[in-house]
Homo-oligomer: A and B are copies of this chain.
Amino acid sequence: MASLKVLNHPPSPSEDAEQLHKAFSGWGTNEQMIIDILAYRSAAQRNSIRKAYKEAYGEDLLKSLEKELTSDFERIILLFTLDPAERDACLASQSTKSSSSNWIFMEIACTRSASALLEVKKYYHSRYKKSLEEDIAHHTTGDYRKVYEAFAHITCSVQLLFPLVSTFRYEGEEVDMSLAKSEAKILHEKIKDKQYNDEELIRIISTRSKAQLNATFNHYNSSFGNAITKDLKADPGDEFLKLLRAAIKCLTTPEQYYEKVLRLAINKMGSDEKALTRVVATRAEVDMVRIKEAYQKRNSVSLEQAIAGDTSGDFKRMLLALIGAGDI
């Protein structure tokens, strides 16, 4: 469930575009007006505003926003205003230059629907003139990878990330219980033998439908006494195991995965604005209501209070608006 509050009868896209243009004019920028418009429009509406803006003023709205805004507030406005497929493609492309890339690739691969992921790939083709898969594979194999291995354990992660990103996963609800049983057994055997990057284990996790995986993990839990993610905690410092556990969470209970990302981002000394921005901008229109519930449950404090206590100014106002705690 989305936390985004979309107006029932919003102004027309050209009226919104005009108001935004006014917000950029004169002395200083009217940040509040930018929030009041962009944080209360759906992806389709924001797209129409961008088109109307381009037609009226001859410049991409994103470009204008980039000129007017700075720092964390700029980042969240730009990221949120983008169309979801475009946003994910940008996040992925930026990630190919960063060492925390694997997490973002994994999030995109495991929490988006098959059709949404396909839209990301199509946008990636048209924008970057290459495939998402080749960039991820290139980034996570060979010489290029060795640069990063010094400070991150990226070895083997291509074996996991590539199939996760590239599979066009089936999304139906049908479950084959005997398959769930036999594959739970395979997973348990591999994990018992510490063969965490075994090709069968990765094959199951990266290709089976989410409904099927859910059944398999349930079967694992009831047959072998532990949740699979618990059995994968053998070596807490192992980056590959961390990524594997996170992928399993993203595939089955994404709200719990995102709750943890937010918790770590907020509790961190100085807080991790990039992570906070990414989660809020990408989930506000998807499942932020569930993420807020998970947050409240785990931290005994609401996400609104946690964000309000940890951020300030326009950045704070925008975050709160997107998680449904702004007033309009």
Query: Using a CB–CB distance below 8 Å, which chain A residues touch chain B?
Result: 118, 121-122, 125, 129-134, 137-138, 141-142, 158-159, 162-163, 166-172, 174, 186, 199-200, 203, 206-209
Contacts and interface: CB of A to CB of B under 8 A. Distances in A.
A133 B207 contact: yes
Contacts of A159: 199
A134 B170 contact: yes
A169 B124 CA distance: 11
How many protomers of this protein does the assembly include?
Answer: 2
Given A133-B168, A137-B163, A162-B163, 18 more contacts: A121-B168, A125-B170, A130-B170, A131-B167, A133-B167, A134-B203, A134-B209, A137-B206, A137-B207, A138-B203, A138-B207, A141-B200, A158-B203, A159-B199, A162-B203, A163-B166, A166-B166, A166-B167
Contacts of A129: 170, 172, 174
Given A118-B118, A142-B199, A199-B142, A207 B170 contact: no
Nearest to A121: B168
26 contacts: A118-B168, A122-B168, A129-B172, A131-B167, A131-B169, A131-B209, A132-B168, A133-B163, A133-B207, A134-B167, A134-B203, A134-B207, A137-B163, A137-B203, A137-B207, A138-B207, A141-B200, A142-B199, A142-B200, A142-B203, A158-B199, A158-B203, A159-B199, A162-B203, A163-B166, A166-B167
A199 B159 CA distance: 9
A200 B145 CA distance: 11
A122 B136 CA distance: 23
A15 to B, nearest CB: 38
Contacts of A172: 125, 129
Nearest to A171: B125
A81 to B, nearest CB: 26
Contacts of A167: 131, 133-134, 166
A199 B141 contact: yes
A280 to B, nearest CB: 28
Contacts of A131: 167-170, 207, 209
Contacts of A166: 133, 163, 166-168
Nearest to A170: B131
Contacts of A118: 118, 168
Contacts of A209: 130-131, 134
Nearest to A138: B203
A141 B203 contact: yes
A171 B162 CA distance: 19
Contacts of A141: 199-200, 203
Contacts of A169: 131, 133
Nearest to A203: B137
Nearest to A158: B199
A145 to B, nearest CB: 10
Nearest to A168: B121
Contacts of A207: 131, 133-134, 137-138
A186 B143 CA distance: 10
A186 B142 contact: yes
A102 to B, nearest CB: 16
